[in-house]
Amino acid sequence: MKRFKKILKWTGIVLLLLLGGLSATIAMRQNIQYDRPYPAITASTDSAVIQKGKHIIFGAAHCADCHSKANPDSLIALGQDVPLTGGFVFELPVGKVYTKNITPDKETGIGNYTDAEIARALRYGVHRDGTAIFDFMPFHNMSDEDMTAVISYLRSQKPVRNEVPGNEFNMLGYAVKAFLIKPVGPEGEVPGSVKVDSTANYGKYLANNVANCVGCHTERDMMTGAFTGEPFAGGLEIDGFITPNLTPDPGSRIYNWSQEQFINRFKMGKLHPKTPMPWNSFKRMSDDELKAIYAYLKTVKPVKGKIK
Protein backbone atom coordinates (compact mmCIF):
# COMPACT_ATOMS: atom_id res chain seq x y z
CA MET A 1 0.00 0.00 0.00
CA LYS A 2 2.81 2.42 0.91
CA ARG A 3 4.51 1.69 -2.40
CA PHE A 4 1.26 2.34 -4.27
CA LYS A 5 0.79 5.68 -2.48
CA LYS A 6 4.38 6.59 -3.33
CA ILE A 7 3.77 5.83 -7.00
CA LEU A 8 0.62 7.96 -6.97
CA LYS A 9 2.48 10.79 -5.28
CA TRP A 10 5.30 10.85 -7.82
CA THR A 11 2.87 10.40 -10.71
CA GLY A 12 1.00 13.48 -9.48
CA ILE A 13 4.23 15.46 -9.19
CA VAL A 14 5.29 14.50 -12.71
CA LEU A 15 1.87 15.46 -14.09
CA LEU A 16 1.98 18.81 -12.31
CA LEU A 17 5.45 19.47 -13.72
CA LEU A 18 4.31 18.54 -17.21
CA LEU A 19 1.22 20.74 -16.95
CA GLY A 20 3.29 23.56 -15.56
CA GLY A 21 5.77 23.25 -18.41
CA LEU A 22 2.97 23.13 -20.99
CA SER A 23 1.29 26.19 -19.48
CA ALA A 24 4.58 28.09 -19.51
CA THR A 25 5.19 27.12 -23.16
CA ILE A 26 1.68 28.23 -24.15
CA ALA A 27 2.18 31.55 -22.37
CA MET A 28 5.53 32.15 -24.09
CA ARG A 29 4.06 31.43 -27.54
CA GLN A 30 1.14 33.89 -27.35
CA ASN A 31 2.92 36.69 -29.17
CA ILE A 32 5.15 34.94 -31.69
CA GLN A 33 6.16 37.39 -34.40
CA TYR A 34 6.47 36.45 -38.06
CA ASP A 35 8.57 38.17 -40.68
CA ARG A 36 6.47 38.84 -43.77
CA PRO A 37 7.13 41.22 -46.68
CA TYR A 38 5.40 44.55 -47.16
CA PRO A 39 3.52 44.75 -50.48
CA ALA A 40 4.36 47.79 -52.60
CA ILE A 41 0.85 49.21 -52.28
CA THR A 42 0.19 52.95 -52.07
CA ALA A 43 -3.27 54.42 -51.54
CA SER A 44 -4.61 56.72 -54.24
CA THR A 45 -6.71 59.88 -53.95
CA ASP A 46 -8.19 59.35 -57.42
CA SER A 47 -11.99 59.34 -57.10
CA ALA A 48 -12.41 56.46 -59.57
CA VAL A 49 -10.01 54.27 -57.58
CA ILE A 50 -11.75 55.15 -54.31
CA GLN A 51 -15.16 54.38 -55.84
CA LYS A 52 -13.90 51.01 -57.05
CA GLY A 53 -12.67 50.24 -53.53
CA LYS A 54 -16.05 51.20 -52.11
CA HIS A 55 -17.77 48.86 -54.58
CA ILE A 56 -15.52 45.98 -53.54
CA ILE A 57 -15.88 46.67 -49.80
CA PHE A 58 -19.67 46.95 -49.79
CA GLY A 59 -20.18 44.38 -52.52
CA ALA A 60 -18.19 41.21 -53.14
CA ALA A 61 -15.78 41.59 -50.20
CA HIS A 62 -18.72 42.29 -47.82
CA CYS A 63 -16.43 44.01 -45.28
CA ALA A 64 -19.35 45.85 -43.64
CA ASP A 65 -20.95 42.55 -42.62
CA CYS A 66 -18.13 41.98 -40.13
CA HIS A 67 -16.58 45.41 -39.56
CA SER A 68 -19.80 47.25 -38.74
CA LYS A 69 -22.58 46.85 -36.20
CA ALA A 70 -24.77 49.33 -38.08
CA ASN A 71 -27.46 48.38 -40.60
CA PRO A 72 -25.53 48.83 -43.87
CA ASP A 73 -28.55 48.41 -46.16
CA SER A 74 -30.59 51.09 -44.39
CA LEU A 75 -27.71 53.57 -44.37
CA ILE A 76 -26.84 52.95 -48.03
CA ALA A 77 -30.52 53.35 -49.00
CA LEU A 78 -30.43 56.77 -47.30
CA GLY A 79 -27.29 57.70 -49.21
CA GLN A 80 -25.15 57.62 -46.08
CA ASP A 81 -21.72 56.11 -45.56
CA VAL A 82 -21.46 52.95 -43.47
CA PRO A 83 -18.92 53.34 -40.64
CA LEU A 84 -16.51 50.39 -40.56
CA THR A 85 -15.96 50.74 -36.82
CA GLY A 86 -15.66 47.03 -35.95
CA GLY A 87 -16.80 45.45 -32.72
CA PHE A 88 -18.65 42.48 -34.21
CA VAL A 89 -17.86 39.36 -32.19
CA PHE A 90 -17.32 35.83 -33.50
CA GLU A 91 -18.30 33.29 -30.84
CA LEU A 92 -15.92 30.40 -31.56
CA PRO A 93 -14.84 27.23 -29.74
CA VAL A 94 -11.60 29.07 -28.88
CA GLY A 95 -13.34 32.10 -27.39
CA LYS A 96 -14.47 35.53 -28.63
CA VAL A 97 -12.77 37.19 -31.59
CA TYR A 98 -13.68 40.83 -32.27
CA THR A 99 -13.44 42.60 -35.62
CA LYS A 100 -11.26 45.70 -35.71
CA ASN A 101 -12.10 49.34 -36.28
CA ILE A 102 -10.85 49.98 -39.82
CA THR A 103 -11.71 53.66 -40.06
CA PRO A 104 -8.75 56.11 -40.18
CA ASP A 105 -9.09 57.02 -36.49
CA LYS A 106 -5.55 57.33 -35.12
CA GLU A 107 -6.30 56.05 -31.62
CA THR A 108 -8.75 53.20 -32.16
CA GLY A 109 -8.56 52.51 -35.91
CA ILE A 110 -5.98 52.27 -38.68
CA GLY A 111 -5.03 55.94 -38.82
CA ASN A 112 -1.46 55.29 -37.74
CA TYR A 113 -0.96 52.30 -40.04
CA THR A 114 1.00 52.72 -43.25
CA ASP A 115 -0.48 51.53 -46.54
CA ALA A 116 2.09 48.73 -46.62
CA GLU A 117 1.14 47.59 -43.09
CA ILE A 118 -2.53 47.35 -44.06
CA ALA A 119 -1.63 45.52 -47.28
CA ARG A 120 0.61 43.09 -45.36
CA ALA A 121 -2.22 42.31 -42.93
CA LEU A 122 -4.61 41.55 -45.79
CA ARG A 123 -2.15 39.60 -47.93
CA TYR A 124 0.03 37.82 -45.39
CA GLY A 125 -2.17 37.56 -42.32
CA VAL A 126 -0.02 39.37 -39.77
CA HIS A 127 -0.82 42.28 -37.48
CA ARG A 128 1.23 45.43 -37.42
CA ASP A 129 3.40 43.85 -34.70
CA GLY A 130 3.98 40.69 -36.74
CA THR A 131 1.67 38.38 -34.76
CA ALA A 132 -0.68 36.09 -36.70
CA ILE A 133 -4.23 37.09 -37.61
CA PHE A 134 -7.09 34.59 -37.41
CA ASP A 135 -7.74 33.79 -41.07
CA PHE A 136 -11.19 35.32 -41.58
CA MET A 137 -10.20 37.60 -44.47
CA PRO A 138 -9.63 35.72 -47.76
CA PHE A 139 -7.78 38.49 -49.56
CA HIS A 140 -4.32 36.92 -49.78
CA ASN A 141 -4.45 36.67 -53.57
CA MET A 142 -6.39 39.88 -54.18
CA SER A 143 -4.78 41.72 -57.09
CA ASP A 144 -2.55 44.71 -56.44
CA GLU A 145 -5.03 46.90 -58.31
CA ASP A 146 -7.99 45.82 -56.18
CA MET A 147 -6.04 46.02 -52.94
CA THR A 148 -4.93 49.54 -53.84
CA ALA A 149 -8.60 50.46 -54.40
CA VAL A 150 -9.67 48.92 -51.09
CA ILE A 151 -6.99 50.71 -49.06
CA SER A 152 -7.71 53.94 -50.91
CA TYR A 153 -11.35 53.78 -49.84
CA LEU A 154 -10.42 52.91 -46.25
CA ARG A 155 -8.19 56.01 -46.18
CA SER A 156 -11.01 58.20 -47.53
CA GLN A 157 -13.48 57.36 -44.73
CA LYS A 158 -14.36 59.68 -41.90
CA PRO A 159 -12.35 58.67 -38.79
CA VAL A 160 -14.60 57.25 -36.08
CA ARG A 161 -13.43 56.66 -32.53
CA ASN A 162 -14.53 53.21 -31.34
CA GLU A 163 -12.47 51.22 -28.87
CA VAL A 164 -12.91 47.54 -29.73
CA PRO A 165 -12.29 44.96 -26.97
CA GLY A 166 -9.32 42.66 -27.29
CA ASN A 167 -9.96 39.03 -28.20
CA GLU A 168 -11.08 36.87 -25.28
CA PHE A 169 -9.64 33.36 -25.49
CA ASN A 170 -10.43 30.38 -23.29
CA MET A 171 -7.79 27.82 -22.34
CA LEU A 172 -8.34 25.94 -25.58
CA GLY A 173 -8.00 29.21 -27.47
CA TYR A 174 -4.66 30.04 -25.90
CA ALA A 175 -3.38 26.57 -26.81
CA VAL A 176 -4.65 26.86 -30.40
CA LYS A 177 -3.12 30.32 -30.73
CA ALA A 178 0.19 29.02 -29.37
CA PHE A 179 0.59 26.00 -31.63
CA LEU A 180 -1.85 26.11 -34.56
CA ILE A 181 -2.48 29.70 -35.66
CA LYS A 182 0.05 30.83 -38.23
CA PRO A 183 -0.06 33.49 -40.95
CA VAL A 184 -1.79 32.48 -44.17
CA GLY A 185 -0.32 34.03 -47.29
CA PRO A 186 -0.96 33.98 -51.03
CA GLU A 187 -0.87 30.85 -53.15
CA GLY A 188 1.36 31.34 -56.15
CA GLU A 189 1.99 34.68 -57.79
CA VAL A 190 -0.38 37.52 -56.90
CA PRO A 191 -1.73 39.23 -60.05
CA GLY A 192 -1.11 42.91 -60.63
CA SER A 193 -4.63 43.19 -62.03
CA VAL A 194 -7.46 40.91 -63.11
CA LYS A 195 -9.61 41.53 -66.17
CA VAL A 196 -13.14 42.40 -65.11
CA ASP A 197 -15.66 40.54 -67.26
CA SER A 198 -18.29 37.81 -67.02
CA THR A 199 -16.00 34.82 -67.64
CA ALA A 200 -15.35 31.83 -65.42
CA ASN A 201 -11.77 33.03 -64.96
CA TYR A 202 -12.94 36.24 -63.30
CA GLY A 203 -15.53 34.23 -61.36
CA LYS A 204 -12.76 32.01 -59.99
CA TYR A 205 -10.92 35.09 -58.78
CA LEU A 206 -14.03 36.51 -57.08
CA ALA A 207 -15.23 33.23 -55.54
CA ASN A 208 -11.84 32.36 -54.06
CA ASN A 209 -10.10 35.67 -53.38
CA VAL A 210 -12.72 38.36 -52.81
CA ALA A 211 -16.24 37.10 -52.05
CA ASN A 212 -14.90 34.05 -50.14
CA CYS A 213 -17.61 31.67 -51.42
CA VAL A 214 -15.10 28.86 -50.89
CA GLY A 215 -14.54 29.88 -47.27
CA CYS A 216 -18.12 29.24 -46.19
CA HIS A 217 -19.18 26.60 -48.70
CA THR A 218 -16.36 24.22 -47.76
CA GLU A 219 -16.07 22.26 -44.53
CA ARG A 220 -13.31 23.53 -42.26
CA ASP A 221 -11.96 23.30 -38.73
CA MET A 222 -13.58 26.19 -36.86
CA MET A 223 -10.74 26.29 -34.34
CA THR A 224 -7.94 26.80 -36.86
CA GLY A 225 -9.77 27.73 -40.06
CA ALA A 226 -8.09 24.89 -41.97
CA PHE A 227 -10.13 23.38 -44.82
CA THR A 228 -11.21 19.78 -44.24
CA GLY A 229 -13.72 19.20 -47.04
CA GLU A 230 -14.02 19.40 -50.81
CA PRO A 231 -14.13 22.96 -52.21
CA PHE A 232 -17.65 24.37 -52.63
CA ALA A 233 -19.30 21.11 -51.49
CA GLY A 234 -20.90 22.82 -48.48
CA GLY A 235 -21.51 21.14 -45.14
CA LEU A 236 -20.05 23.85 -42.87
CA GLU A 237 -22.23 24.80 -39.90
CA ILE A 238 -22.46 28.54 -39.20
CA ASP A 239 -24.86 29.89 -36.58
CA GLY A 240 -27.12 26.87 -36.92
CA PHE A 241 -27.15 26.95 -40.73
CA ILE A 242 -25.46 24.32 -42.90
CA THR A 243 -23.94 25.74 -46.07
CA PRO A 244 -25.25 24.08 -49.25
CA ASN A 245 -23.34 22.32 -52.01
CA LEU A 246 -22.51 24.68 -54.90
CA THR A 247 -20.69 22.19 -57.13
CA PRO A 248 -22.27 21.02 -60.42
CA ASP A 249 -23.32 17.70 -58.87
CA PRO A 250 -26.94 16.81 -59.81
CA GLY A 251 -27.86 16.89 -56.12
CA SER A 252 -26.48 20.36 -55.42
CA ARG A 253 -28.55 23.41 -54.52
CA ILE A 254 -27.97 25.32 -57.75
CA TYR A 255 -27.59 22.45 -60.24
CA ASN A 256 -30.81 23.30 -62.08
CA TRP A 257 -30.56 27.06 -61.70
CA SER A 258 -30.24 29.10 -64.85
CA GLN A 259 -27.90 32.09 -64.96
CA GLU A 260 -30.94 34.37 -64.70
CA GLN A 261 -32.26 32.52 -61.64
CA PHE A 262 -28.84 32.75 -60.01
CA ILE A 263 -28.62 36.52 -60.55
CA ASN A 264 -32.22 37.12 -59.48
CA ARG A 265 -31.73 35.26 -56.23
CA PHE A 266 -28.81 37.49 -55.30
CA LYS A 267 -30.70 40.65 -56.21
CA MET A 268 -33.44 39.66 -53.74
CA GLY A 269 -31.02 40.15 -50.86
CA LYS A 270 -31.53 38.55 -47.44
CA LEU A 271 -34.84 36.65 -47.20
CA HIS A 272 -34.10 34.78 -43.95
CA PRO A 273 -33.13 37.31 -41.23
CA LYS A 274 -30.76 35.04 -39.31
CA THR A 275 -28.85 33.57 -42.23
CA PRO A 276 -25.06 34.17 -42.04
CA MET A 277 -24.88 34.59 -45.82
CA PRO A 278 -24.13 38.28 -46.61
CA TRP A 279 -26.92 38.48 -49.18
CA ASN A 280 -27.41 42.24 -48.84
CA SER A 281 -23.77 42.88 -49.71
CA PHE A 282 -23.76 40.40 -52.56
CA LYS A 283 -26.90 41.93 -54.10
CA ARG A 284 -24.81 45.06 -54.74
CA MET A 285 -22.53 43.11 -57.08
CA SER A 286 -22.89 43.82 -60.79
CA ASP A 287 -24.62 41.41 -63.14
CA ASP A 288 -21.28 40.66 -64.80
CA GLU A 289 -19.72 39.75 -61.43
CA LEU A 290 -22.58 37.36 -60.68
CA LYS A 291 -22.45 35.91 -64.20
CA ALA A 292 -18.74 35.26 -63.71
CA ILE A 293 -19.26 33.43 -60.42
CA TYR A 294 -22.09 31.39 -61.93
CA ALA A 295 -19.87 30.44 -64.89
CA TYR A 296 -17.04 29.43 -62.57
CA LEU A 297 -19.20 27.29 -60.28
CA LYS A 298 -20.21 25.29 -63.35
CA THR A 299 -16.53 24.38 -63.86
CA VAL A 300 -15.59 23.15 -60.37
CA LYS A 301 -15.29 19.47 -59.49
CA PRO A 302 -18.74 17.90 -58.94
CA VAL A 303 -19.02 16.56 -55.39
CA LYS A 304 -21.93 14.77 -53.77
CA GLY A 305 -22.20 17.06 -50.75
CA LYS A 306 -23.99 16.44 -47.45
CA ILE A 307 -26.40 19.31 -48.03
CA LYS A 308 -28.13 20.06 -51.33
Q: What is the pLDDT of residue 221?
A: 82
pLDDT tens, per residue, the chain with 308 residues? 555 555 555 455 555 545 556 678 888 888 899 999 999 999 999 999 999 999 999 999 999 999 998 888 788 877 788 999 999 999 888 999 999 999 999 999 999 999 999 999 999 999 999 999 988 888 999 999 999 999 999 999 999 999 999 999 999 989 888 888 899 999 999 999 999 999 999 999 999 999 999 999 999 887 677 889 999 999 999 888 999 999 999 999 999 999 999 999 999 999 988 899 999 999 999 999 999 999 999 999 999 977 65
Look at residue 189 in the predicted model and tell me its pLDDT: 95
pLDDT for res 10: 47
pLDDT for position 21: 61
From the list 112, 97, 105, 75, the residue with the least C-alpha distance to 284 is 75
| 39 C-beta neighbours (distance < 10 Å), count | 21
* Rounded Cα gap, residues 177 and 225, in angstroms: 12
Please count the other Cβ atoms lying within 10 Å of the Cβ belonging to residue 276: 15
* DSSP states along 27-64: HHTTT---------------HHHHHHHHHHHHTTT-TH
**pTM of the predicted model as reported, rounded to 2 decimal places:** 0.90
What distance lies between CA 145 and its chain's CA centroid?
19
